[in-house]
Amino acid sequence: MWSEHLDEGEAGLAWDWIEIADGVVAMANPLCVVTNLRLVGEHGELLAARESALHLSRLVCQLPWQDEVCRAVQEAA
């Protein structure tokens, strides 16, 4: 889970991940990100779930979460 505390409130994203090889993790389902964010288009319209899923997947791919997950897995072993 990734979260951020902002002046306007809190934002969060969560997704399932899998270890596909020793020290290599990936999103289990790139189109299944759970969030309290609502994405809007160029003209302020609320994006449909399918459109939002693509943007959210790209966002998760840009976050530096894999190293942290691998570190936590190694510590738990």
Per-residue pLDDT of the chain (77 residues; tens, 9 = 90+): 888 898 989 999 999 999 999 889 999 999 999 999 999 999 999 999 999 999 999 999 998 899 999 999 889 97
Residue that the structure tokens 């399918």 belong to: 50
pTM of the model: 0.79
Q: What is the DSSP letter of 64?
A: -
Dihedral over Cα of 67, 77, 3, 51: its sign: positive
Q: Any idea where the domains of the chain sit in the sequence?
A: 2-76
36: number of Cβ within 10 Å: 11
- 3 burial via Cβ count (<10 Å: 0-12, 13-18, 19+): exposed
